[in-house]
């Protein structure tokens, strides 16, 4: 678990902080532990998902209270715009599309976070309620001839093209799940208490991150298992990159998504649709980049994405990352990747300034 935790801290540094900090344990609760890595909370949980939920809620009780109040205020919950009972009813209905272990994790959190069942549902859906009103993330994986020593280096901007995330940065959390039973350890980088899983790594060294692809495939398959939960299940069960590929071959998304995936020696983008998928590698020698548009040339019928701001600058962001990757071929390490993802779109990068 220590190796897994250190890797995830490195990924957090790539996304949101500039100086490395050694994790310091600050508290324990019912078999779980809270660490601090600079300003980042790292929650290490053990046992059943219900027990891990109780650990998470108890360790971050104060943070949950503040986060809940911010979400309710920004989303207007309890007003005519979003009546409390209607919001809760809709969220409870949505829980029918997530696996039992996810529901158990949320149930456990609600018991110890101080929020209770209904308010915990609102808090744990905070991203969906107020933060993900548009998709504009970017990611890149370099390995082989593109990275400095041949090993995999991953970068991602989770900026969404809006200012919505800025007040919530202090709630960014690394959640390390050490489940009892047959599943393996998985660490997720996310905002406090969210089960809209976005990016993480498992004990076998498999990594993924998610970009929205709704501009290319706007239709949704509403009766399907929640795609974020499906990805978490993939991470709990997969021990090889071949099994990750097998997952995308077998499972269809509820809507258009782009999933960057990697292990220590390779990477790929899986353009994941409701009826099919494509595996894309931009340069087999070691480079793949993605924003929010499907770019694999073998797609037959996908929606055209406008240029510039009307298309979320997704074409420009993808193109910029590929150009920068080529520019720094053979020199990309963690420091260079942070530099790449700090460059704004007008400056030839992928970051919304």
Residues 95-136 pLDDT 10s: 999 999 999 999 999 999 999 999 999 999 988 887 655 567
Q: Is residue 311 part of a domain?
A: yes
Q: Is residue 265 part of a domain?
A: yes
Give 215-228 pLDDT, tens digit per residue: 888 778 888 899 99
Say what the pLDDT of residue 25 is. 96
Same domain as 89, residue 154 = no
Q: Is residue 199 part of a domain?
A: no
Same domain as 45, residue 147 = no
Say what the pLDDT of residue 134 is. 56
What span, in angstroms and rounded, lies between the C-alpha atoms of 52 and 188? 13
Q: What is the 3-state secondary structure (H, E, C) of 86-117?
A: HHHHHHHHHHHHCCHHHHHHHHHHHHHCCCHH
Name the band, by pLDDT with cuts 50, 70 and 90, for residue 18: very low
Q: Is residue 74 part of a domain?
A: yes
CATH number (domain holding residue 153): 3.60.60.10
What span, in angstroms and rounded, lies between the C-alpha atoms of 193 and 125? 8
What span, in angstroms and rounded, lies between the C-alpha atoms of 123 and 67? 7
Same domain as 330, residue 237 = yes
| Total tally of structural domains belonging to the chain | 2
Instruction: Show the tokens assigned to 188.
Output: 């997720």
Say what the pLDDT of residue 7 is. 42
Q: Which residue has the higher pLDDT, 21 or 87?
A: 87
Q: Is residue 261 part of a domain?
A: yes
% of the chain at pLDDT higher than 90: 76
State yes or no: pLDDT of 10 exceeds 90.
no
Same domain as 151, residue 95 = no
Q: Is residue 197 part of a domain?
A: no
Q: Is residue 73 part of a domain?
A: yes
Residue with tokens 């310091």: 24
Same domain as 147, residue 62 = no
Same domain as 298, residue 149 = yes
Strands (E), 184-256: 186-191, 199-202, 207-212
* Mean of pLDDT values over 68-73: 95
Name the band, by pLDDT with cuts 50, 70 and 90, for residue 2: very low
State yes or no: pLDDT of 322 exceeds 90.
yes
* Mean of pLDDT values over 61-73: 96
Say what the pLDDT of residue 96 is. 93
| Phi-psi group of 144: left, alpha or beta (phi > 0 → left; psi -120 to 50 → alpha; rest → beta) | left
Same domain as 147, residue 127 = no
State yes or no: pLDDT of 4 exceeds 70.
no
Say what the pLDDT of residue 300 is. 87
Give yes or no for a contact between 110 and 117, defined as CB atoms under 8 angstroms apart.
yes
Same domain as 55, residue 16 = yes
State yes or no: pLDDT of 279 exceeds 70.
yes
Name the band, by pLDDT with cuts 50, 70 and 90, for residue 152: very high
Same domain as 281, residue 253 = yes
Same domain as 127, residue 72 = yes
Same domain as 276, residue 148 = yes
Give 236-246 pLDDT, tens digit per residue: 999 999 999 99
* Mean of pLDDT values over 35-45: 94
Give 158-188 pLDDT, tens digit per residue: 876 566 677 888 999 999 999 998 789 999 9
Q: Is residue 147 part of a domain?
A: yes
> pLDDT averaged over the chain?
90
* Strands 138-142 vs 153-157: parallel, antiparallel or unpaired: antiparallel
Q: Which domain holds residue 80?
A: 2-131
Same domain as 307, residue 242 = yes
Give 205-217 pLDDT, tens digit per residue: 999 999 998 888 8
């Amino acid at each position: 678990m220590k190796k897994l935790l250190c890797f995830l801290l490195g990924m957090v540094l790539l996304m949101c902080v500039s100086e490395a900090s050694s994790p310091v344990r600050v508290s324990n609760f019912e078999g779980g532990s809270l660490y601090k890595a600079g300003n980042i909370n790292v929650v290490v949980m053990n046992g059943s998902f219900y027990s891990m939920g109780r650990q998470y809620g108890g360790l971050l009780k104060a943070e949950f209270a503040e986060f809940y109040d911010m979400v309710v205020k920004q989303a207007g919950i309890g007003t005519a715009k979003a009546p409390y009972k209607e919001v809760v009813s809709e969220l409870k209905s949505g829980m029918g599309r997530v696996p039992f272990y996810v529901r158990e994790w949320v149930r456990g959190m609600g018991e110890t976070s101080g929020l209770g069942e209904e308010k915990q549902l609102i808090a744990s859906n905070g991203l969906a309620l107020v933060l993900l009103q548009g998709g504009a993330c970017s990611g890149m994986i370099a390995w082989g001839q593109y990275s400095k020593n041949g090993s995999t280096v991953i970068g991602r901007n989770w900026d969404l093209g809006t200012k919505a995330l800025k007040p919530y940065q202090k709630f960014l959390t690394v959640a390390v799940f050490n489940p009892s039973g047959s599943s393996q350890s998985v660490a997720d980088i996310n905002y406090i208490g969210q089960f809209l899983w976005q990016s993480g790594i498992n004990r076998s060294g498999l990594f993924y991150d998610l970009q929205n692809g709704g501009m290319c495939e706007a239709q949704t398959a509403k009766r399907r298992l929640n795609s974020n939960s499906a990805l978490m299940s993939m991470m709990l069960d997969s021990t090889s990159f071949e099994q990750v590929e097998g997952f995308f071959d077998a499972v269809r998304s509820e809507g258009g998504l782009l999933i960057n995936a990697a292990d220590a020696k390779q990477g790929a983008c899986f353009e994941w649709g409701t009826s099919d998928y494509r595996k894309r590698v931009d340069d087999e020698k070691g480079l793949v980049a993605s924003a929010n548009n499907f770019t694999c040339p073998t797609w037959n019928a996908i929606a055209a994405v406008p240029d510039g701001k009307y298309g979320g600058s997704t074409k420009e962001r993808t193109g910029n990352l590929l150009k920068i990757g080529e520019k720094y071929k053979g020199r990309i390490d963690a420091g260079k990747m942070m530099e790449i993802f700090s460059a704004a779109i007008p400056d030839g990068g992928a970051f919304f300034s």
